[in-house]
Structure 1
Amino acid sequence: MPTIRVEMFEGRTLEQKKNLVQALTQACVQTLGSKAEGIDVLIYELKKQDWATGGELWSEKK
């Protein structure tokens, strides 16, 4: 029962998230031999002000 956690910036459409979930699920089915109904995908959407790389908030990047 794989669980996939996706952290990304907010702003994707429902259609994009549905496509992502389907693609990730299919990848697990093909590579791990898991059954689709046993795969969980959790999507966490963050604001750019809540994510930093290299000591700099993404909301401050130019």
Structure 2
Amino acid sequence: MPIVNVKLLEGRSDDQLKALVSEVTQAVEKTTGANKEAVQVIIEEMKPTHFGVAGVRKSDQ
């Protein structure tokens, strides 16, 4: 049972998140041979204040 954890900054629409789950599921099914019913996708959204690159938070850019 493949489990895929996707971490994103907040701000995507519900339609975008639905499409992401669908596309990730299809990719895992295609590349691993797993049945799509067994593929689990977990989306974790982060606030821009909780993510930084090179010492700078995304919210401060």
TM-score range, shorter chain: over 0.9
Q: Counterparts of 1:1-62 in structure 2 under 5 Å?
A: 1-61=1-61
Deviation per CA, 1:12-53: give whole Å up to 9, x if none: 111110100000000011110000011110001111000011
4+ long deviations beyond 2 Å:
none
- Any stretches of 5+ residues in structure 2 without a counterpart? none
Give percent identity, aligned residues only.
36
Give the aligned residue type for 2:3.
T
TM norm structure 2: 0.95
- Any stretches of 5+ residues in structure 1 without a counterpart? none
Aligned alpha-carbon RMSD (Å): 0.6
TM norm structure 1: 0.94
Aligned partners of 2:53 and 2:2: how far apart in 1? 28
